[in-house]
Amino acid sequence: MRKPERPRRPTMTDIAKLAGVSQSTVSLVINHMSGAKVSSATRNNVLRIARELGYPVDRPGHPAPPAARSLIVYLTDELSTSPHAMQTIDGARDAAWEHDCLLSVYATRNDPAYEQAIVARMLADPALLGVVYATIFTRAVTVPPPLAGVPTVLLNCHTRDRLYSSVVPSEVLGGFAATMHLLDAGHRRIGFINGEAWIEAAAERLKGYRQALSTRDIPFDPLLVREGDWQVSAGHAHAQALLALPDAPTALFCANDLMAIGALEAARERRLQVPGQLSVVGYDDQDIARYTQPPLTTVLLPNYEMGRWATENLIAQVNGGSPRRTCMKMDCPLVERDSVAARSLI
């Protein structure tokens, strides 16, 4: 007899979508941050939805003192280049706290000497439970040799020898989902504004785009693919070039939301209505995506969920409840808003 599936644990992302606020606002409310500029109505609404979903918002009355908690070190190469890092830290921190652990975060800025000093210091801490080793760009890494005997989970990165558990976004499926959404709306000429080809995420999103086209027997046209740099200006410039083609695309898939915003501006300048005359899909689901005109259909990058998974897998390893080498590719679901219309309506 098949065992019933275990229900998925609600996340801050679920609460944010139902409450119509950002994940950062949910985090401020859930963690009872003093001085946060959140209205009473918003606070009460977030707490109500969280309780209805079964998300833990009422902390135990007598938590263990910090000194009694185990320590998980979150070691990353960068924090300041995008909002994604803070979302993964939120997920890792929440999971750690729920398991009576504290999360300590260090950013190395890719300085080997600094990373070595941090590792030496944390290995001397008797409270150390393990390490979440993270990167801002998905890529292959070399784990510092001193961590060989320390429980370690890789977040948004992986090793080529697969000796460590890791969690990365399923970028191929994300690119596939975005392109299929446009194909299902009847579009056949779909432009793709990608990031730099050397970045793993860009290469995999392109692979997903090509796989989706092949499912509908649509030949890949390299003229419809442009390489940008993830910035608004690149999205604007490449959208202008694509829309100036003699056989211009009727839809654009942009590999991040910032470039999609640039594409929306290019459409406005060419007096093209979105989605009436041009459909646009982004990627990442940054907060700004819901406030563009029109609100942007995009693909969710599951940063918070990856942070939670990394910490929970690490704790399970320590407790003997998880295999040492688990490689998770986390789903990147489509978030439908108002920037895509059926081709038959154009």
Instruction: Kindly tell me if the per-residue pLDDT of 331 is higher than 50.
Output: yes
Q: Compute how many other C-beta atoms are within 10 angstroms of the C-beta atom of residue 49.
A: 21
Q: What is the mean pLDDT of residues 21-30?
A: 77
Parallel/antiparallel/unpaired status of strands 225-227 and 165-169: unpaired
Predicted confidence band of residue 22 (pLDDT cuts 50, 70, 90) = confident
Q: What whole-number distance in Å separates Cα of residue 104 and Cα of residue 83? A: 18
Q: What whole-number distance in Å separates Cα of residue 281 and Cα of residue 257? A: 8
Nearest-10 crossing angle of helices 12-19, 40-53: 130
Which residue intervals of 196-246 are DSSP H helices?
200-215, 232-243
Q: For the chain, what are the domain ranges?
A: 6-59, 62-169+303-332, 171-300+335-345
Check residue 65 and give its pLDDT.
40
Predicted confidence band of residue 259 (pLDDT cuts 50, 70, 90) = very high
Q: Which CATH fold topology does 171-300+335-345 show? A: Rossmann fold (3.40.50)
Check residue 198 and give its pLDDT.
94
pLDDT in tens, 56-72: 776 544 344 444 468 99
pLDDT in tens, 153-210: 999 999 998 889 999 999 999 999 999 999 999 999 999 999 999 999 999 999 999 9
pLDDT in tens, 220-242: 999 999 999 999 999 999 999 99
| 149: DSSP letter | G
Per the CATH hierarchy, to which homologous superfamily does domain 6-59 belong? lambda repressor-like DNA-binding domains (1.10.260.40)
pLDDT averaged over every residue in the chain = 89
% the chain with pLDDT above 90:
69
Predicted confidence band of residue 23 (pLDDT cuts 50, 70, 90) = confident
Q: What is the C-alpha end-to-end distance of the chain, expressed in Å?
A: 51
Check residue 346 and give its pLDDT.
45
Predicted confidence band of residue 37 (pLDDT cuts 50, 70, 90) = low
Instruction: Kindly tell me if the per-residue pLDDT of 33 is higher than 90.
Output: no
Predicted confidence band of residue 322 (pLDDT cuts 50, 70, 90) = low
8 Å CB contact between 280 and 72: no
Peptide bond into 275 cis (omega under 30): yes
Check residue 82 and give its pLDDT.
73
Say if 62-169+303-332 and 171-300+335-345 have the same CATH topology. yes
% the chain with pLDDT above 70:
90
Per the CATH hierarchy, to which homologous superfamily does domain 62-169+303-332 belong? Response regulator (3.40.50.2300)
Instruction: Kindly tell me if the per-residue pLDDT of 113 is higher than 50.
Output: yes
Enter the tokens of residue 2: 């098949």
